[in-house]
Amino acid sequence: MYDVLIIGSGAAGLSLALSLPHSCKIAILSKNIVTEGSTFYAQGGISAVLDKSDTKKSHIKDTLDAGAGLCKEDIVRFTVSKGKASIKWLQDAGVPFTYHDNNQKLHLTREGGHSHRRVAHADDASGEAIETTLVRQIKKRDNISLFEHHIAIDFVTTRKLRLKGNRCVGAYVLDKKAKKVKLIKAKFTVIATGGASKVYLYTSNPDGSSGDGIAMAWRAGCRIGNMEFMQFHPTCLYHPHAKSSLISEAVRGEGGRLLLPDGTRFMKNFDPRKELAPRDIVARAIDHEMKRLGIDNVFLDISHKPADFIKKHFPNIYKNCMKFGYDMTKEPIPVVPAAHYTCGGVMVNKQGQTDIKNLYCIGEASFTGLHGANRMASNSLLECIVFGHATSKSISKKLGKKYSMPDIPSWDESRVTDSDERVVINHNWDEIRRFMWDYVGIVRTTKRLQRAQHRIQTLLQEIDDYYSNFRITSDLIELRNLSIVAQLIIESALLRPESRGLHYTLDYPKPDPKLESVDTILDPITL
């Protein structure tokens, strides 16, 4: 048995583990290798007020503006106020941030929605630098056990055991290599599984972003909020083999221009901030131009900057583009929007506590209220560190309390068989991602959403029948979770008859003032 079970090995889960007392026995689950998550692939950086010309008030205002009236201001203030301390904590951990030439002052870049340069970064591979540094620190701690290639199936709660109350006491977990299900008991369980962008056909996220924690929390009885707000990153490299190749927003922050095939800039027609408008505006503008002109992509051009500048600031993006035959120092590169970030998630308080006792949620899987209807660039890693530390404080205060551990049955596979119909999983997975892209994507209509709603209800039944009859596999777990996340996004979108932030519908093209500050809350008891 463990004191704390952390499901997920990104910035949120690792910062929590490193902040808990050394006396605390901790298990961290990673469903692939420890670095194969969204944190590792984050390029831009982490936002914080670090320059004298900047202010917390300005960072708060920018975040609220990007969130289109749905950010919780107290959460925004709380998060922004912890920015400088979070950067210092990462520096102390050894994260190799990029500094000015004198090596004394952090180099700060600017991204969409920000009115100042306030994004600390490690060249254009900030997530990799943060992830690898934190993993290195984790491996020094003898109180932390790291389990790679382990995927959680479901939480164990006292309600499921037909006992009093609803307290989480651990989880059933599939060891992917041994192909066996384990029971891991824990006093406290933390969801740090990341987002759900793999529910869409085109995404910047790694394959593991299948919304596992959100779906598990829903099945356990947690409320889910604002799932209609799925962020599409405006610029992913367009190439048939360039899987998940994000082109950082910092490229636009450093002067990159969006162009049509004939070389015309178009962002001025959509927003006075042009390429530095928030992501929802830029993604919709690109989507509009692609549909208007019937083109497969637009172009991002920073070749007017000196080649040495580009290679210095974007070494990894430059190398990746060259791998696919594009020299960004000499020519525009083709880009398209792709699903990138889940702004909604499991409802939590300021300490990361969910509706279920001793079950916490942090990072992208959570709905804290920080991002509102649209996450501002580089606020996500900040949220991971801030709420990882806040959850650590909450759990630390409760560690001394005695919790009885009920008898929990082992995983029962006595009534299932090995499947000989893997094609069903592959087909359903592909169908969900395609109709989500076509019907619940960047631009929506009520009719499209209703079509998606009808289809997902049929698929949920098919997948549930399959889950009940065949032995569990990693692909089946992810498909089951993905189908639930798709349902949550569709139902949330149907409940918001307006366009706001990342949710844009042709049937209600303007925001409804009556819905400002109104969140879309789904309760498993009522849906």
Q: Is residue 243's pLDDT more than 80?
A: no
Question: Over pLDDT 90: what percentage of the chain?
Answer: 84
Q: Which of 33-42, 235-244, 373-382, 446-455 has the least mean pLDDT?
A: 235-244
- Is the CATH number of domain 236-340 1.10.30.50? no
DSSP string, 250-283: HHHHTT-EEE-TTS-B-GGGT-TTGGGS-HHHHH
279 is catalytic: yes
Which CB contacts under 8 angstroms, 24+ apart, belong to 178-182?
181/153, 181/411, 181/413, 181/472, 182/150, 182/411
**C-alpha span between 203 and 222 (Å, rounded):** 26
Domain boundaries, the chain: 2-228+343-398, 236-340, 422-508
Q: Tokens 């221009």 map to which residue? A: 257
Please choose, from the candidates 203, 87, 215, 92, the residue with its C-alpha nearest in 3D space to the C-alpha of residue 481. 215
Q: Is residue 102's pLDDT more than 80?
A: no
pTM: 0.92
Residues 12-41: tens digit of each pLDDT: 999 999 999 999 999 999 999 998 888 988
Predicted confidence at residue 474, as pLDDT, reads: 94
Sort strands 26-30 and 257-259 into parallel, antiparallel or unpaired. unpaired
Class at the top of the CATH hierarchy for domain 422-508 = mainly alpha
Residues 437-460: tens digit of each pLDDT: 989 999 999 999 999 999 999 999
Task: Judge whether 44 and 127 are in contact, CB under 8 Å.
Answer: no
Q: Is residue 422's pLDDT more than 80?
A: no
Q: Is residue 424's pLDDT more than 80?
A: yes
| CATH number belonging to domain 2-228+343-398 | 3.50.50.60
Predicted confidence at residue 289, as pLDDT, reads: 95
R_g of the chain, CA atoms, integer Å: 22
Given the residues 257, 279, 433, 496, select the one marked as catalytic: 279
Q: Is residue 244's pLDDT more than 70?
A: no
Query: Residue 197: how many CA atoms within 13 Å on its side-chain side?
Result: 24
Averaged pLDDT for residues 351-371: 98
Beta bridge partners, 470, equal 417
Q: Is residue 365's pLDDT more than 70?
A: yes
**CA-based torsion, 38, 480, 522, 518: positive or negative:** positive
Q: Pick left, alpha or beta for residue 211 (phi over 0 → left; psi -120 to 50 → alpha; otherwise beta).
A: left
Query: Residue 481: how many CA atoms within 13 Å on its side-chain side?
Result: 29
Task: Judge whether 159 and 398 are in contact, CB under 8 Å.
Answer: no
**C-alpha span between 468 and 470 (Å, rounded):** 6
Q: Tokens 């083109």 map to which residue? A: 295
CA angle 249/205/93 to nearest 5° reads 75
Q: Which residue has the higher pLDDT, 435 or 241?
A: 435
Question: Over pLDDT 70: what percentage of the chain?
Answer: 99
**C-alpha span between 431 and 5 (Å, rounded):** 34
**pLDDT tier, 85 (very low <50, low <70, confident <90, very high otherwise):** very high
Residues 265-316: tens digit of each pLDDT: 999 999 999 999 988 889 999 999 998 999 989 999 999 999 999 999 999 9
Task: Judge whether 14 and 362 are in contact, CB under 8 Å.
Answer: no
Predicted confidence at residue 104, as pLDDT, reads: 77
Tell me whether the CATH fold assigned to 2-228+343-398 matches the one assigned to 236-340: no
Please choose, from the candidates 157, 222, 176, 200, the residue with its C-alpha nearest in 3D space to the C-alpha of residue 476. 176
In a 3-state reduction of DSSP, which class is residue 174?
strand
Q: Which residue has the higher pLDDT, 218 or 44?
A: 218
In a 3-state reduction of DSSP, which class is residue 491?
helix
**C-alpha span between 249 and 314 (Å, rounded):** 11
CA angle 148/153/158 to nearest 5° reads 120
Residues 168-183: tens digit of each pLDDT: 999 999 999 999 999 9
Averaged pLDDT for residues 474-502: 97
